[in-house]
Amino acid sequence: MVRYFYRTVSAHWRTNPVLYALTVLGVALGVASVISIRILNQSAVASFAAGVRTIGGAADIVVTGKGGTLPDAAYPLVRGTPGVTAAWPAFETTVAVEGRPGTFARLLGVDLLAPALDLWGAFSGFAPGAPVAAGRGWAAATPELARVMGWVPGDRFKVRDGAGSRQLRFGALIDFERWGASGERQALVMDIADAQSLFGGAGTLHRIGVTAAEGADLPALAARIEDRLGGRADAVTPSERTGQARELLGAFRLNLTAMSLVSLLVGTFLVFSSMRACLVWQRREFGVLRSLGSTPGQVLALILGEAALLGVMGVAIGILAGYWTAVWNLEAVSSTLTNVYMLREIESLEVSRGTLALAVFAGLGGALSGTLLPALDVWRRDTRTLLDTLPAQSAGTAVTRVLFRIGLVLVVGALAWYWLIAWRWRLTGFVLSTAVMLCLPLLTPWLVQHLAARVRVPDFGFRYGVRSLGATLANTSFSVSSLAMAVCLLVGITLLVESFRETLVRWVDRSLTADVFVTATVGARPGPDATLSAQLVERLAGRPDVEGVGPLRRLFLAVEGQRVAVVGVDLSRPAARQRLALLSGGDVVGRAIRERGILIGEPLSSSASVTVGDTIEIEGSQGPVRLPVSGIYRDYTQGGSVTMDLGLMAETLGPGALTSVALQLRPGADPEAVAAGIESRHPRGSLRVRSNRHLKEDIFRVFDQTFAVTRILQVMSLIIAACAITLTLLVVAQEKASEIALYRTLGAFRRQVFLLFVSKGTAMAFLGLVLGFAGGIGLGAILIFVIQKSYFGWSIEWAWPWWPLAGEALAIVCAAVLASLYPAFKASRTPANELCHADA
């Protein structure tokens, strides 16, 4: 039997290489779509975790201030906390490196005289400690930065932040790679005293890394540290920080996670149907084997063995393909991370054991389960029926009806469950979308059967093709449901993305009314250290082409325990009022001014469970402040926001400089020219000046980038669908050779058979499209109204993206037609005497 196994497998390959290749490809694609998304997802988090390690070192606990920074005096308190075995302070800022436009570096000030500082293991080419002796301006640079700048030790260079230009001296290389974590690529490291005094940060630290005694109870130690600091700081373990990163990356990861779940489903399903299709083709061979005396068990073993073999090949190819898909899409994901979340880029892809296990599970599991049902069928059947040339329809009406009812119960049950019980539960959306996806294959057979039976056949053309789908119900249903699931995914995501975009367009049109926006930046990025000087604001206001100036001050503070953008604007200005898309009516802004209240964004309102009339606590630099909430506005910023009057802000959170201004130009002034004019008068990297149009473009570029990764799944699902069609039709061509021979005997030309198969493919595409669109609209609704709302508190207005949907539909039909060409060609070559052989 074993020898027979090898012989048959190789014979199968020779006789029908395309079918086998497609089956393996099906498995591979399924596996690839599952793991590529997962690899990207994990790498994004790993990249953040590495960032955390760079900043915190291999610390057991990292202490940060609630208001963003810590006072120097916190250090001895942290260090002296029982259970601490080492503590090291860090001061941090971002600087532009002069001499090479567009080069920025993270600048870390650390205690270069302290022992037990992990960083030191990373220095090379000099004696540590020398920097302090060497006097002001000594800095170590990462190899990447030194290479880019062409520095050799001893070189002097200038860096710039918001306050001006400073001269430093390149003293040594510091290689974070050698330090264990893959850290910042472009960074400077200085002694903390030097960094603080050069960059105006005397008295402030950004974090303190803590090493605990071996086996220490880290949460308890963290609590002790927070306690010693009077609750003004957060002490978190790196895993907690990575956890915070997960939160921060929530929207992004949610997209990826949802997609990887769906791709797992679709992928496993494709594997399942590929294997099934492949097996149907071999029925007669099993009949022969049985008639020659092999036991049902031997046949079953043969089938499962071959399935496992194909599955293993598919998994191997799928892992490679998935990895390369991830590599190709790395840039899209990476730039989302850096642009949207201001994190480091992904520098390496992580392929964890879990991912590999998942690949094996999806591939082999799908292959074996896809084989099991038909294999059991073969196992059960008597030899004669296996040898039938035109077997009766395998799935009776009863079976399809039961499946259909299960599908209906699933959807209705999930909806009822949602409305009655689970609408508060966060994961509900995932359950609902899984239900929608799962019901498609359940509903498909009955629908195909009934539709096919109802079609009248006036000719031997398209409708005849639809009608004949019913004859191969099992195969057809599989490919139609594969397609339907792919279309469902495609449509659901398109609806989400386009509705979101449309909502954003309206919001942006309403919120961004000024002509030119000027934002202070450090290292080309806005941040807590970037402010506009009063003279600059005055100068801008004094420009002849400027009619009005809208001031804005943005701080990032802990609000109700979350890190949120707190925005101060002049609420008395009509433009500032107009900016806010308020959810409630009435003179909300007027009330806010009278009540000395604040306005909060919708996501914050839902995540902190705060509504109008409540108060919220903001952790200012001078201590916590409690303020009443006067209104809620639509808000699509990451992490939420709070808006208040500038005067109230200065009073309660302390005075400070503006971070950006919006300029209203006089009629006739050209915003682009004004923006260019302002920008040219300031050093690179210190200001970001954008016209209204430019800013909107930037917003949508970032938006589009965030969802760029969804393209992987869209393309993947399209390929999967096309694959399913080709596979099904090939199997049909093989399985229905007698039928084709009959047509030929009855006078059908080859081209008629060809067109019949293309019709079948197209018919399947249409069926899949219809089912998929129905499911996709459901999925879109779940994504928009359930998932986004419960996770981010974003209200998204439903929009019908006609053109994108039409384009996708067209693409699917084209793909289906293309996918049916080869099987149609093969079918048309079926000799008419195929019947004679069967009869012999």
Partner 1 sequence: MDAAALTFAGVSKVYDGAGSAERYALRDVSCEITSGQTVAIVGRSGSGKSTLLHLAAGIDVPTHGSVAVHGTPLESLNETARTRLRRRDIGFVFQLFHLLPHLTVRDNVALPDLIAGARERDYRERVAALLERVGLADRAADPVAGLSGGEMQRVAICRALLRRPRLLLADEPTGSLDDASGEVVMDLMLKMVAEEGATLVYATHSRELASMADRTLRLHSGLLEEAEAPG
Partner 2 sequence: MRTREELGAGACILALVGIILWTGLAHAWTSAQPGYVWSFPRDHWARDGYKTEWWYFTGHLGTGGEPAPRFGFQFTFFRVGVSRDAPDGGSAWAANNIIMGHAALTDLETGRHRFSELVVRAAPLLAGFGRHPDPRIAWSVGPPGTPDKWQLSWNGKGFDFIMADAGKSFSFSLSTRPLKPLVYQGPGGVSRKGEGATEASHYYSFTRMATSGTVRLDGKEWEVSGTSWMDKEFGSNQLGQDTEGWDWFSLQFDDGREVMLYLLRNRDGGTRYAGATLVETGGAVRYLQPGEWKLNATGQWTSPASGAPYPAGWILDIPDAAIRAVIAPRVADQENRSALIPNLFYWEGSVRIESGSGARIGHGYVELTGYGENSRPPI
Instruction: Point out which span in 456-464, 507-515, 557-565, 591-599 binds partner 1 (CB under 8 A).
Output: 456-464
In the list partner 2, partner 1, none, the entry touching 112 (Cβ below 5 to 8 angstroms by class) is partner 2
- With contact defined as beta carbons under 8 Å apart, do 697 and 571 qualify? no
- Return the number of the residue (426 or 751) whose C-beta is nearest partner 1: 751
- Residue 718 main-chain phi, psi, to 5 deg: -65, -45
Among positions 390, 409, 421, 673, the unique one binding partner 1 when judged by CB under 8 A: 390
Binding pattern to partner 1, positions 459-488, x when CB under 8 A? Answer: xx---x--xx-xx-----------------
CB of 836 to partner 1, least distance (A): 5
**In the complex, what is the shortest distance from the CB of residue 297 to partner 2, in angstroms, rounded to a whole number?**
57
Q: How far is the CB of 643 from partner 2 (least distance, A)?
A: 36
Binders of partner 1 among residues 750 to 769 (CB under 8 A) are 750, 752
- Residue 832 is classified by DSSP as T
**Smallest distance from the beta carbon of 754 to partner 1, in angstroms?**
13
Q: Which residue has the tokens 């929530």?
A: 250
Total residues in contact with partner 1, by rule CB under 8 A: 35
SS3 state of residue 125 = coil
* Of 659, 439, 618, nearest in space to 534 by CA: 659
Q: Which ranges in 128-249 belong to alpha helices (H)?
A: 130-134, 143-149, 192-198, 218-228, 238-248
**Count of helices and strands (H, E) across the chain:** 31, 21
- Residue 121, contacted partner among partner 2, partner 1, none, CB below 5-8 A by kind: partner 2
Please report, as a single letter, which amino acid is at residue 242. T
- Provide, for the chain, the percentages of residues in helix, strand and coil under a 3-state DSSP scheme, each rounded to the nearest 5: 60, 15, 25
- Give dist(CA 123, CA 118) in Å, integer: 10
Residue in 457, 534, 650, 702 binding partner 1, rule: CB under 8 A: 457
Which DSSP state fits 362? I
Q: Taking CB under 8 A as the rule, which mask of x and - marks residues 821-840 in contact with partner 1?
A: ----------xxx-xx-xxx
Site string for partner 1, 35-74 (x = CB under 8 A): ----------------------------------------
Residue 749 interacts with partner 1 (CB under 8 A): yes or no? yes
Residue by residue, DSSP assigns 570-634 as -TTSHHHHHH--BSS-SSHHHHHHHHT-EEEEHHHHHHTT--TT-EEEEEETTEEEEEEEEEEE-
Nearer to partner 2 among residue 117 and residue 312 (C-beta): 117
152 binds, among partner 2, partner 1, none (CB under 5 to 8 A by kind): none
Binding mask 348-387 for partner 1 (x = CB under 8 A): ----------------------------------------
Distances (CA, A) of 512 to 620, 663, 664: 28, 11, 11
Q: Which is nearer to partner 2, 166 or 467 (CB)?
A: 166
Phi/psi at 147 (5° precision): -70, -45
CA 592, 699, 512: angle at the middle one, nearest 5? 40
The footprint of partner 2 (CB under 8 A) covers 58, 72-73, 75-76, 79-87, 89, 111-118, 120-121, 123, 126-130, 132-136, 191-194, 196-198, 202-203, 211, 213-214
Q: Minimal distance in Å, beta carbon 774 to partner 1?
A: 25
Choose the binding region for partner 1 from 164-172, 284-292, 733-741, 813-821 (rule: CB under 8 A). Answer: 733-741
Compute the least distance from the CB of residue 732 to partner 1, in Å: 12
Q: Does 790 bind partner 1 (CB under 8 A)?
A: no
197 binds, among partner 2, partner 1, none (CB under 5 to 8 A by kind): partner 2
Burial of 272 (0-12, 13-18, 19+ CB in 10 A): buried
Kindly tell me the burial class for residue 50, based on how many C-beta atoms sit within 10 Å of its own C-beta (0-12, 13-18, 19 or more): buried
CA distances from 229 to 89, 225, 618 (A): 15, 6, 18
The piece of 75-83, 372-380, 457-465, 709-717 that touches partner 1 (CB under 8 A) is: 457-465
Residue 82, both tokens: 């029982």
Choice between 598 and 835, CB closer to partner 1 = 835
Of 214 and 459, which has the nearer Cβ to partner 2?
Answer: 214
Extract the tokens encoding 383: 């030899």
Residue 600: CB partners within 8 Å, gap ≥ 6? 610, 616, 629, 631, 632, 633, 640, 641, 642, 643
Shortest separation between residue 839's beta carbon and partner 1, angstroms: 6
Q: Which of 208, 362, 452, 565 binds partner 1 (CB under 8 A)?
A: 452
Q: Which residues contact 216 (CB under 8 A, 6 or more apart)?
A: 60, 83
Question: Between 308 and 832, whose beta carbon lies closer to partner 1?
Answer: 832
- The least CB distance from residue 735 to partner 1, in Å, is 13
Residue 650 partner contact from partner 1, partner 2, none using kind-dependent CB cut-offs of 5 to 8 Å:
none
Q: Are 197 and 190 in contact (CB under 8 A)?
A: no
Distance in Å, CB of 59 to partner 2, minimum: 10
From the list partner 2, partner 1, none, partner contacted by residue 356 (C-beta under 5 to 8 A by kind)? none
Q: Supply 557's token pair.
A: 């503070």
Decide whether 215 or 293 has the Cβ nearer to partner 2.
Answer: 215
Nearer to partner 2 (CB atom), residue 136 or residue 789: 136
Confirm or reject binding of residue 398 to partner 1 (CB under 8 A).
Answer: no
In the complex with partner 2, the residue whose CB is nearer, 17 or 129, is 129
Q: Which is nearer to partner 2, 118 or 498 (CB)?
A: 118
Contacted entry of partner 2, partner 1, none for residue 467, CB cut-off 5 to 8 Å set by kind = partner 1
Q: Residue 783 and residue 430: Cα distance in Å, rounded? A: 9
Q: How far apart are CA 644 and CA 639, in angstroms?
A: 17
**Options 420, 747, 802, 803; binder of partner 1; rule CB under 8 A:** 747
Task: Verify binding: residue 731, partner 1, rule CB under 8 A.
Answer: no
150 binds partner 1 (CB under 8 A): no
Q: Are 401 and 473 in contact (CB under 8 A)?
A: no
CB of 481 to partner 1, least distance (A): 19
**Are 29 and 267 within 8 A, CB to CB?**
yes
Nearer to partner 2, 224 or 543 (CB): 224
Q: Which range of residues in 451-459, 540-548, 760-768, 775-783 is near partner 1 by CB under 8 A?
A: 451-459
Give the separation between CA 687 and CA 670, rounded to whole angstroms.
Answer: 19
> Which residues lie below 8 Å from residue 244, measured CB to CB, with a gap of 6+?
236
Strand, coil or helix: what is 188? strand
Name which of 89 and 407 has its Cβ closer to partner 2: 89
User: Smaller CB distance to partner 1: residue 468 or 660?
Assistant: 468
Smallest gap, in angstroms, from Cβ of residue 11 to partner 1? 15
Closest to partner 2 by CB, 112 vs 414, is: 112
Nearer to partner 1, 123 or 766 (CB): 766
**DSSP codes, 279-303:** HHTTHHHHHHHHHTT--HHHHHHHH
SS3 641: strand
Cα separation of 229 and 391, whole Å? 80
Question: What is the nearest approach in angstroms of partner 1 to the Cβ of residue 451?
Answer: 12
Q: How far is the CB of 65 from partner 2 (least distance, A)?
A: 16
The DSSP 8-state label assigned to residue 459 in this structure reads: S
Instruction: Using CB under 8 A, list all residues that contact partner 1.
Output: 389-390, 392-393, 452, 457-460, 464, 467-468, 470-471, 738-739, 741-750, 752, 831-833, 835-836, 838-840
